[in-house]
Each structure stands twice: as C-alpha cells, then as structure tokens.
Amino acid sequence: MKTAKLPRAALGPLTSALLVSLLLSGGPALASDTAAGAASGTAAEAKPGKPKKPQKSKPPKTIVSLTFDDGDATHVLAARMLGKRGMRGTFYVNSGNLGEDDRLTRRQLAAIAKSGHEIGGHTLDHARLTELPPDELRAQICDDRKALMRMGHRATTFAYPYGAVNAEATRTARLCGYAAARTTWGLRQWTCRNCPATETVPPLDRWAIRAPSSFVEDTEVRQMKQLVLNAEKAGGGLLPLIFHRVCDGCGLYSTPPDRLGEFLDWLAARKNRGTVVRTMAEAVGGGR
C-alpha cells in the first residue's frame, strides 16, 4: 500500500519519530494532539514575569498608650479588661509599696507582666521628686528600678509621681537606665486647650514625655474619646492616657470599670483609622 507524502511545509519541526507515528496511524487526531502539546511546551518555556513585591503595611498614625499608675490592686481587673480586647498596657508601680493594703502583690504584678503588659518604675514610694535632694532623688528612681529588675521586670520606662519633674529628675531618670519617662501634663485637654494634641514620635524629650492630665472620677467616656479624636485630627503621634484606680466610687483618681470598658471597645474599633494601642516601651523603644 502506497503512503501519501506530506508536503514539506506541513512537517514543521516534527521529529522523525513523531512523523513515523503520524504516518502509520494516518490519524489527524495525533496531529492535533501534537500541535497542542507543542503549544503547551512553548507556553511552559516562556519567561516568568517578575514576582510582585509584598506590600508593606502602613505604620500607625496615632499610638495610644494606656498607662495605669501607682500599682493599685484594681489593676488586676484593668489588665484583664485590656487583655480581653487584645490590648497591652503599661503599669507604673512603686516597688516599695507592693503588698501593702489596696496595692498589688508581687505575685499579681508578675501575672500582669506574664500576660504581656509592660511594668515600669514610679519611684520607691511615690515621692515628689522636685522636693528631694539629689542623693534621695537618685535612690527613689534607681533603687526602684533595681528592685523591679530583681523581680524579673525590664522596667525600661518611668512615670514621675504627681507629674513633678525638673532638670535633675530627668537627668537622673536617664542615668538610672530608663529609655523614657512620662509626665502628667503638656498635651491638649479641657484644662489646656492650646496644648498640642499628641507627643511627637520620637518624643521631643524622651525623659519628659508629654501627656494629658490624669483621668478622674467624673471624666466621661466622651471626653476620653475626644482626646483620641483630637490626636487623629492633628495627624497622629503618641497619646499617653493616664488612669489610676479602676473601681466604682473609690476616690478622686478612679475610673468605673464600665466606663473603662466602653472606652476600650470604642478605641479597639479605631484600628481601621490608623489608631493603635501600644505600651510605652513599644512606642518609644530603647532601654537597657
């Protein structure tokens, strides 16, 4: 039986083995499959495009630091409330007062730290530093930090009791090894309407970080929110907020738990607007 010859142009790049198979079968189906395979091979050999670079997440615009002063026993509840919402706070304690009435015990403080919260210094016994001679001032700040470190806490940031600070106090906080120190004044609030809404990042003065004054028993949730809204409107920055006791009707410097909870729920929802909660150490970095 004679076999018809294929035109030379139809052979293309087929190898002799493929030609033999095609001729013996006489099937155009094979020719179709071969063409498809050739096309597939050509596509496979095509140079891949450059991989897209992963997009970097945008840094937060407004950083809110929730700080709790004095090592009050009610801070066990405060730490739990923050943790329930995925937040971490900074707890400034007087190491010399731990275990006293209405104060945290060392075990409670350790549990707060284990939950991811920051522990910072606040002097040995809540001394007003601007009224102390240099040697006593140094003992209040340095010995307090050493005591906290012996308990296993890094203690990289500090808060001045009463917000009382002068040049000697800031110098001593730095020499004692603190990376930063927070005051209780300098940012916009109903008592200082012309003050800036936030501290700069990094802070203008790491050892005198500005903040609104402490919340008190009649501070309303809308006033807490307004401080955050002011910070966002100003373009962002660092906003330390200062709480003391977390309980109902327990003194001037206190915040009811339901009021704190309402504010935290609202604050958590601000994340999609570039507002996040960070500890003071996370916000300013550093420490040794």
| DSSP character string of 138-182 | HIIIIIHHHHHHHTT----EEE-GGG---HHHHHHHHHTT-SEEE
Question: In terms of pLDDT, which residue wins out, 7 or 193?
Answer: 193
The CATH code that applies to domain 62-284 is 3.20.20.370
Q: Which of 4-8, 112-116, 250-254 has the lowest mean pLDDT?
A: 4-8
Model pTM score:
0.80
pLDDT of 122 over the 60 cut: yes
Q: Are the C-beta atoms of 121 and 155 separated by less than 8 Å?
A: yes
Q: What is the pLDDT of residues 52-89, one digit of tens each?
A: 665 566 778 999 999 999 999 999 999 999 999 999 99
Average confidence (pLDDT) over 194-210: 96
Average pLDDT, the chain: 86
Answer for the pair 205, 170: CB distance below 8 angstroms, yes or no: yes
Domain coordinates of the chain in residue numbers? 62-284
> How confident is the model at residue 57, as a pLDDT?
61
Q: Strand, coil or helix: what is 25?
A: helix
Picking from 171, 167, 189, 194, the residue whose alpha carbon sits closest to that of residue 240 is 189
- What pLDDT is recorded for position 20? 36
pLDDT digits (tens, 9 = 90+) for 163-190: 999 999 999 999 999 999 999 999 998 8
User: Six-digit token pair at 47?
Assistant: 């140079």
